[in-house]
Amino acid sequence: MTDAAEQDAARRLAVAATAVRLYAEHGYEATSADQIAAAAGLSRSTFFRQFRSKEDVVFADHDTLLEQAQAFLAEPHDDPWEAVCRAAGLVFGHFASLGELAHLRYQVVNRVPSLRDKELVTTFRYERLFQRYLRQAVPGLPALDAVRFASTVIATHNYCLRGLMRGEDGFDAARLTAELDAVRRLYGVGPGPRAGAADRRDDLVVAVFPRSADPAGVAQKVREALEGRP
C-alpha cells in the first residue's frame, strides 16, 4: 500500500472504531450516522461519501483487507493452496492487532441481525476471491474443488477468528496456521500425511480382478492402494 492508501485506511478504521464504541455504549438503533460523524470529527456529507450506511462503517476495513489479499495473491507463489491460507492469515492478523476493539466489534455484530447479515456478505467476498485465484493458479482445477477448498478455508478462519474475538485461550496466529495446514492435508495438498490417513506401512492389501482386466490398469489400482490414494 502507498502512504496515502495507508493513511486513508487508518482514517476509515478510526471512524469504524468510533462507530463500534457508540453502538456498544448506546445501542445500534439508538445511534445515528450524524452522531458517528460528529464523534469522528466528520461532516454528515463526508461520512456518507466514505461510508454508504451505518452498517457499512462497521466493516470499513474489509475493503482494504480484500485489496491486500488480492495484491498478495497476485504475487508469484510456488504453492497456490498455501497462498490462499496465508491470505486468510493476513485477515486474521489484522483483527488480532485490534485487541479489545475486536472483542467489542464481535459483541456489537452478534447483537444486531442486520450486521450479522452484512458480515456474511463480506465473508462471501473473500470466498469468491480465493475461488477465482485457485481456478487461475491451478490449471484444470474443477470449479467445485475450488469452491470446496475456499469455503473450508473461510470456515476454518472464521472459527478461529470468533474464538479470538471471544477472548478464548489458544486462538492465535499459530493455531490458525495449524488448522489451515490440516485443511490442506484434508484435501491432499498440505504438508505431512493426508488427514485421517493411518500409517499403512504394515497394511496388507488384497485385490481381486477379473481375468479380462487390463494388466496396466490392475497395476495402477494396486499402486494407488499401496500409496493410500482414494
Side chain identity at residue 48, one-letter code: F
Q: Are 163 and 171 in contact (CB under 8 A)?
A: yes
Given this model, what pLDDT does residue 99 score? Answer: 87
Q: Are 25 and 7 in contact (CB under 8 A)?
A: no
Where along the chain do its domains lie? 1-56, 59-197, 199-230
Q: Do domains 1-56 and 59-197 have the same CATH topology?
A: no
C-alpha cell at 41: 470529527
pTM of structure:
0.77
Given this model, what pLDDT does residue 225 score? Answer: 64
Q: Are 156 and 123 in contact (CB under 8 A)?
A: no
Q: What is the pLDDT of residues 42-77, one digit of tens each?
A: 999 999 988 888 888 988 888 889 999 999 999 999
Q: Are 13 and 61 in contact (CB under 8 A)?
A: yes
The second-level CATH assignment, the architecture, of 59-197 is Orthogonal Bundle (1.10)
Task: Write down the H helix ranges in 42-172.
Answer: 44-50, 54-58, 60-74, 80-97, 100-111, 113-137, 143-165
Q: Residue for cell digits 450486521?
A: 115
Q: What is the pLDDT of residues 1-29, one digit of tens each?
A: 567 777 887 888 899 999 999 999 999 99
Q: Are 51 and 57 in contact (CB under 8 A)?
A: yes
DSSP conformation letters of 88-123:
HHHHHHHHHHTTHHHHHHHHHHHH-HHHHHHHHHHH
C-alpha cell at 108: 456489537
Segment of 80-94, 99-113, 196-210 carrying the highest mean pLDDT: 80-94
Is 1-56 CATH 1.10.10.60? yes
CA separation, residue 186 to residues 47, 75, 138, 176, 180 (Å) = 45, 25, 18, 15, 10
Q: Are 96 and 65 in contact (CB under 8 A)?
A: no
Q: Which has the closest alpha carbon to 119: 131, 130, 106, 102?
A: 106
Report how far Cα 123 is from the mean position of its chain's Cα atoms: 7
Separation of alpha carbons 151 and 173, rounded Å: 19
